[in-house]
Structure 1
Amino acid sequence: MDSFHHLEQLEDGKRKAVRAKQAVADLKRLIEDQTQRIKEEEEIKRKRLENLEKIRSSQAVLNKLDEIKTNYFRLVTSQDYQKRGFELEKVLYDLFELFDLDPKASFRNIGEQIDGAFSLEGTDYLFEAKWRNQLSDSSDLDSFVGKINRKLDNTLGLFLSINGFSEDAVKIHSVSRSTILLMDGTDLMAVLENQIDFVSLIIRKRRHAAQTGNIYLKSSEVV
């Protein structure tokens, strides 16, 4: 719409025509920006699916995935629990690297330890891993959320607890706008056995959390 002569015939018509022209221009700019964002998101999605297909069909990648799985199975029977936790971080680092997620190894900020970090579709994720006999509880998640909240707004967190999480912990952190996603040993095995690729799993978890508030979508509900 580029003609506003009909408004000019009204009382105070010139001012109304100018305001209408500006409103239409603003709307046009908004639609163009939205259209561009949609195109960019579709291109990102296309490239991601293309890369994932290459990953899933590459024998070299499958061989590396088997190697990571073998290293993980070695940890399952380990009796050195402290070393097992450290080696688990290395397993996940290798997994992040395999899926081209620009991983960062364990590092220490002032007064706090971060198990690792990676990037996915423009979002930075901090990573935390726990491998204990008991379920991870709300205090574990509270501590991790505190680390996330001290970073930039675009930062999220992925908490891996091999033996899962207490029901109360999941409920408490699912009722408000959460900044973390939860993953357990079953999820990890689904990735290592190539039932679902790691990137798709995290994207599905994030989308489910955004839509429902539930931060603990399990791989069995996806594959």
Structure 2
Amino acid sequence: MKKISAAAINALKKALSTVYWYKSDLRSFLDHTITNKQILSYLDWNDYKRNICSRLVDLLVKNEEKTQNDLLKLVYELCNMNDFSHLKQLDDGTDKEKAAKESVAALRKLSKGHLEQLKEQEEVEERRNHVFKKQLEQSAVREKLEEIKTDFYALVSSSDAQKRGFQLEKLLKDLFNLFDLDSKASFRITGEQIDGMFTFENNDFLLEAKWHKDPVDISSLDAFSGKLSRRLENTLGLFISINGFSSDSIQAHSTGRRLMILMDGSDLMAVLEGRIDLIQLLVRKRRYAAQTGNIYLGIHEIMKGK
């Protein structure tokens, strides 16, 4: 970035000496603006305010290779000042306020190019920070997915079906919370066991999860449909069966009012392996059900772009 012009430097000195009347206010402003505290240590606060301001700016200019960021930040903060009402309370306050406004306006005019460059730098830095934050988030998601996937593999080898079912509920809760789906654990209402609940696209979804040896049949989907019909009208359902669904159960519940969408073990593995995120998976399944009436869309069809 090119150096600040001599005219802008003089305007900076004048603006800095007029925006604050009391040295204590000026000192507080500089403490919050200048990051190089060593520069501030060279100032003699027993001197006149105008001399203090001139000394500070001269030090910043003299060491501009190291202190340009502080110099530009000082210009930036002063140019962003619009309220000088604190000067009105003083003797001749109206004149002091007018002088501060005029000096800041002059600085703003002379340093316009630098302010634009500084703003551009800030925008670049903001974009860089956004990308970095996104990368960190994605990295954190990947790490957590890997952890959940490891837990899932451990369940696959488990011979205790009851324990496996309980652990599956916990695993799914962790997975849904990872994708900010506000998952609730299992609960019981008026004799009905609900495996879980989450919110997606402004709809409440009841969650049913099964890990049976055989594909889920019509009776299981019938029972889940009954639970959904007893909830509020905008309540939908997601039925997860690790070993899939019988073809007749899918067909039977793909007619009439479709209250649920289906997810199987292949879908779950695709999410755990990072081939598709959970939100995208649910969006595709729900859209497909709305467009075709079919409540089941497998991951293989999704990956083909269906």
TM-score category, normalised to shorter length = 0.7 to 0.9
The answer as to 2:245 corresponding to 1:165 is yes
Distance 1:120 1:142 in 2: 23
Q: How does 1:19-34 map to 2 (within 5 A)?
A: none
Note the 1:73-152 alignment, pairs <5 A: 73-152=153-232
Task: Report the TM-score, using the length of structure 2 for normalisation.
Answer: 0.55
**Superposed CA offset, 1:74-96 (max 9, x none):** 00000001100010001100001
Structure with greater strand percent? 1
Quote how far apart the aligned CAs of 1:60 are. 1.1
> Percent identity among equivalent residues?
59
Aligned position for 1:64 = 144
Q: CA RMSD in A?
A: 1.7
What residue number does 1:36 align with?
none
Between the aligned partners of 1:128 and 1:165, the Cα distance in structure 2 is 13
Q: How many residues align?
A: 172
Q: What amino acid is the match of 1:187?
A: D
1:37-56 to 2 correspondence within 5 Å? 54=134
Distance 1:207 1:115, change over 3 A: same
Question: For the pair shown, which has the larger CA radius of gyration, 1 or 2?
Answer: 2
TM-score for the superposition, normalised by structure 1: 0.75
Tell me which of 291, 294, 299 is aligned to 1:211.
Answer: 291
For the structure 1 residues 149 and 54, does the alpha-carbon distance in structure 2 shift closer, same or farther, using more than 3 Å as the test?
farther
Q: What is the aligned partner in structure 1 of residue 98 from structure 2?
A: none
Counterpart CA distance in 2 for 1:183 and 1:94 is 17
Higher relative contact order (CA 8 A, sep 6+): 1
For the 8 Å contact 1:130–1:161, the answer to whether it is kept is yes
Residue number in structure 2 paired with 1:5:
none
Please, which runs of 5 or more residues in structure 1 have no aligned partner? 1-49
Cα offsets for 1:118-148 (capped at 9, x unmatched): 0011011000000011110010000001111
| Dislocated runs of 4+, deviation >2 Å | 53-57
Letter matched to residue 119 of structure 1? T
Partner of 2:123: none
Q: Give the Cα–Cα distance (whole angstroms) in 2 for the partners of residues 55 and 190 of structure 1.
A: 21
